[in-house]
Structure 1
Amino acid sequence: MSQTTPHPIDLLIEARWVVPIEPHAVVLENHAVAIDGGNILALLPIAAARAAYAPRERVELGEHALIPGLVNSHTHNPMTLLRGLADDLPLMVWLQQHIWPAEAKVIGPEFVRDGVELAVAEMLRGGTTCANENYFFPDVIGATYRKLGFRAVVGLPVIEFPTAWATSQDEYFARAGEVHDSFRSDPLVSTAFAPHAPYTVSDESFERIRLQSDQLDIPVHLHLHETAHEIEEEKKKSGLRPFQRLQRLGLVNDRLIAVHMTQVTEGEIAACASAGVSVVHCPESNLKLASGFCPAEQFRRAGVNLAIGTDGCASNNDLDMFGEMRTAAQLAKAVAQDAAAFDAAFALRAATLDGARAIGLEASIGSIEPGKQADLAAVRLSDLETQPLYHVASQLVYACNRQQVTDVWIAGRRKLAARELIGMDTAAILARTRAWRERIVAA
């Protein structure tokens, strides 16, 4: 009887637990993920994997849970350089009197590049492998993500006033087209329209966005119903709630990524469900700015695709998706007055597969399934803080912290090994960050 020769592959990761996300709420013990060419070939018991494959590299994670890389579904990563600049202020005061004036003095390609690099280092050390980006100079943002081998959806900004990026409506759209074309076939970087919010974008611009997002088949990513003030101002201006205005303009559809959504009616929740809108919950930013509470459990029960984002470091003040999952789950329970709401398995799904679905990447990432890209994070669960261990998913959401992330891969390439960043100069990143601090303070 002939014995089958093991198949050569790039990488075999063996873990004490694998949390594939799909099927839902499943935890597999003593399983391995076979990876070749950046793709997941198989997920199978360790003994079977060793018999079937001859890996060029084997990684044994005897005390770890292997999860899909976390998806930060809403962030402004260049603003990492503004972390802690203007705290303990309400949204519009924070934005109009502090953040926008500070940005105006320093924003440019170098600020954006260095802010993104600092953010990537932080995200990788926290198990995040993909970000949905919303900021100016998307050409530089995308080029930086590409250089660092980090997965991102880069927002194409549209706003009704001149900025360092563009000075007119026509220029915003012309530059958006150029940036989209430059990343059209990139394996890691894709694009979405990123109109800032209904209160800063005109009907004419929204109509152009709707037409072009249909033509290009890309999402529309914007802040929506973040505060009660935003809604009252729109009602005074147009007689409509911002969501109603977007409905009238044809933007409430399955390409819409609606961020925050703290002030919503039951009808708006139902409309999101029927139209296929994705909602991004940013609980810590909303809490810190006192913007309100997204009724996450109501959205979930209605069947709305619900993702999680950190927002930017200027309003959070971190890019910690483990912290965000925990806050999202706990806050949802309090808002719904139901301890069973937004359970741990769902929190993990919102931070992975449902985040990937929101940004149009669910076919490629977000779960550990054959055929998908190998975006993975290993979380050590043997620490004192996560012992004893009864339920892996609960421990990941309610007890774990990002310092327990030891190893990260994007498309099968190791980006973090035993807590050390691969291919990134930490000392240089810190030196540039401190130089920006001095420059911003001086300005």
Structure 2
Amino acid sequence: MPQAIDTLIHARWIIPVVPEQKVYENCSLAVEGGQITALMPSAEAKIRFKAKREVELGHHALIPGLINTHNHAPMTLLRGYADDRPLKEWLEKHIWPAEQRWVGPEFVADGSRHAIAEMLRSGTTTFSDQYFYPEAVAIAARETGIRAHIAFPILDVPTPWSRHAEEALHKGLALRDNYRAHERIEVMFAPHAPYTVGDQTLEKIAVCSAEAQIPVQIHLHETYQEVETALKQHGERPTERLQRLGLMSPQTLCVHMVATNERDIELLKTSGAHVAHCPSSNLKLASGFCPTVEMLDAGINVSLGTDGAASNNSQDLFAEASTAALLAKAVSGKATALPAHQALAMATINGARALGIEEKTGSLEIGKSADIAAIDLSGLEQQPVHDPVSQLIYASGGHNVSDVWVAGKQLLEDRQLLTLNEAEVIQRAQLWRDRIAGHSR
């Protein structure tokens, strides 16, 4: 008697990521109760299971849903607003004034839904976000079905969301209490950066993080100027300062890390902290190069992030994986650096480890959540397929993603969003463009 299950997905290739370097051909995934319950040859699966829904993907690769470990989702509404400018000018003269003028719950809600739509359409099933009005980001994630880690922003100075760090901590911890039992949404600390948060606040976050086991995400070593200024002001590098304050730990996710030396890499290694590499944003803002090869060789966990669309212009994590691989080769001078399998791992299981959810997602293993992306490899530009993993990283993009599931629920089917209205998302983006343009004139 065949076993009744929710969903049975047959695919040309299944790339589980764990175990490493493994590719299964003509196999199927069985999904029941939101979890993966079996991975086996399709011929056997069709005999063993009777599914409520059976999906045939004969030209596709199934992979774990991608994990974007650093984003500012609402900033999608500022995409292209102030391109091709140096970081300091970009922030101080354009982005921060625009945020002061426009950022509120409505802006954040609309921008979050837009970013989530893009992420789902390009295979991302989990994202970590750091932006004002995080409660609006959480609502958008809850309603659309994506998995989210909401990193609430903490700054000592006033922001559109909080008057000071104490208020940000109070509101953020209340948000965490609201989502404590949610299966897809977690809330974490996000002190903005060492140059916007003082020692007293950072020490308080370190204590709270350790006591309550709450992860921390922080912009760190984003530019060489940041490091030089820190040395002048504090007499120590930002990593050394965070280490002294107790904030470098296995629960810490360090975003960017482009201005590094051997001491920084050693601190990352000994503390167990993780790194979110945002190659496209770093390149666009001419911030520098994250030494991913040295970090990975040292055993540091390096994940991928898009950063916000205002400094990247895209939510496509496939583009980040490809850029990361190519950049690593160019910077190291080694064609063997960061091969395709490793780049895919950075976008999946490494991201899960960085967010502390590797037992739940990041790979297609039995017992894990059915967070799955299907990529169509039948296109002219992807032929012939000698190595499907190579094709994913070097010859494919988010536009090749056809179907997406999160916790077994399908959110994208044949390129169509199932929990978002694409036309409405576009209409809201155009409304914000007109509002901002009208104010600028």
1:390-442 deviations in whole A, cap 9, x for unaligned? 01111100011211100001111111111111021111111111000111112
Q: State how far apart, in whole Å, the 2-side matches of 1:13 and 1:27 are.
A: 16
1:228-281 deviations in whole A, cap 9, x for unaligned? 010111111111111111011011110110011001111221221222111111
1:342 is matched with which residue? 338
TM-aligned CA deviation for residue 376 of structure 1: 0.4
Q: State how far apart, in whole Å, the 2-side matches of 1:299 and 1:107 are.
A: 36
1:96 aligned onto 2:101 = no
Q: Number of aligned pairs?
A: 439
2:401 is matched with which residue? 405
1:330 is matched with which residue? 326
Quote the RMSD (CA, aligned, Å): 0.8
2:371 is matched with which residue? 375
1:246 is matched with which residue? 242
Aligned match for 1:353, one of 341, 349, 358: 349
Any residues of structure 2 matched to 1:384-423 within 5 Å, and which? 384-423=380-419
Q: State how far apart, in whole Å, the 1-side matches of 2:3 and 2:328 are.
A: 46
Query: Which amino acid is 1:417 matched to?
Result: E
User: Does the 8 Å contact 2:12/2:58 carry over to 1?
Assistant: yes
TM-aligned CA deviation for residue 145 of structure 1: 0.5
User: Does the 8 Å contact 2:115/2:315 carry over to 1?
Assistant: yes
1:83 is matched with which residue? 79
Q: State how far apart, in whole Å, the 2-side matches of 1:178 and 1:43 are.
A: 40
Q: State how far apart, in whole Å, the 2-side matches of 1:260 and 1:168 are.
A: 25
The DSSP-based 3-state class of the residue aligned with 2:29 is: strand
The DSSP-based 3-state class of the residue aligned with 2:157 is: coil
Any residues of structure 2 matched to 1:138-287 within 5 Å, and which? 138-287=134-283
Q: State how far apart, in whole Å, the 2-side matches of 1:259 and 1:142 are.
A: 21
TM superposition score normalised by structure 1: 0.98
1:44-63 deviations in whole A, cap 9, x for unaligned? 11112112211110001000
Query: Which amino acid is 2:367 matched to?
Result: G
Query: Which amino acid is 2:299 matched to?
Result: G
Q: State how far apart, in whole Å, the 2-side matches of 1:83 and 1:300 are.
A: 31
User: Does the 8 Å contact 2:138/2:185 carry over to 1?
Assistant: yes
Moved more, 170-179 or 60-69: 170-179
Q: State how far apart, in whole Å, the 2-side matches of 1:123 and 1:169 are.
A: 30
Q: State how far apart, in whole Å, the 2-side matches of 1:245 and 1:211 are.
A: 15
Query: Which amino acid is 2:312 matched to?
Result: N
Q: State how far apart, in whole Å, the 1-side matches of 2:290 and 2:81 are.
A: 25
Q: State how far apart, in whole Å, the 1-side matches of 2:152 and 2:114 are.
A: 21
Aligned match for 2:49, one of 53, 59, 71: 53
1:24-43 deviations in whole A, cap 9, x for unaligned? 01110011110011111011
Any residues of structure 2 matched to 1:112-151 within 5 Å, and which? 112-151=108-147
Query: Which amino acid is 1:319 matched to?
Result: Q
TM-aligned CA deviation for residue 157 of structure 1: 1.1
TM-aligned CA deviation for residue 168 of structure 1: 2.1
1:41 aligned onto 2:37 = yes
1:437 aligned onto 2:433 = yes
TM-aligned CA deviation for residue 299 of structure 1: 0.5
User: Does the 8 Å contact 2:279/2:323 carry over to 1?
Assistant: yes
Q: State how far apart, in whole Å, the 2-side matches of 1:215 and 1:93 are.
A: 39
Query: Which amino acid is 1:388 matched to?
Result: P
Query: Which amino acid is 1:412 matched to?
Result: G
TM superposition score normalised by structure 2: 0.98
User: Does the 8 Å contact 2:282/2:289 carry over to 1?
Assistant: yes
TM-aligned CA deviation for residue 169 of structure 1: 2.3
The DSSP-based 3-state class of the residue aligned with 2:195 is: helix
Query: Which amino acid is 2:110 matched to?
Result: D
1:319 is matched with which residue? 315
Query: Which amino acid is 2:370 matched to?
Result: A
1:58-80 deviations in whole A, cap 9, x for unaligned? 00100000000000110000000
User: Does the 8 Å contact 2:31/2:370 carry over to 1?
Assistant: yes
Q: State how far apart, in whole Å, the 1-side matches of 2:346 and 2:339 are.
A: 11
Identity %: 48
Q: State how far apart, in whole Å, the 1-side matches of 2:66 and 2:249 are.
A: 25
Query: Which amino acid is 1:392 matched to?
Result: P
1:210-243 deviations in whole A, cap 9, x for unaligned? 1111122121101100100101111111111111
1:74 aligned onto 2:59 = no
Q: State how far apart, in whole Å, the 2-side matches of 1:169 and 1:403 are.
A: 40
Aligned match for 1:64, one of 60, 76, 79: 60
1:113-167 deviations in whole A, cap 9, x for unaligned? 0000000111111011110101011111111100111100001210111112111
Q: State how far apart, in whole Å, the 2-side matches of 1:69 and 1:169 are.
A: 34
The DSSP-based 3-state class of the residue aligned with 1:95 is: helix
Q: Which runs of 5+ in 2 are unaligned?
A: none
Q: Runs (4+) of structure 1 moved beyond 2 Å?
A: none
1:300 is matched with which residue? 296
Query: Which amino acid is 2:176 matched to?
Result: H
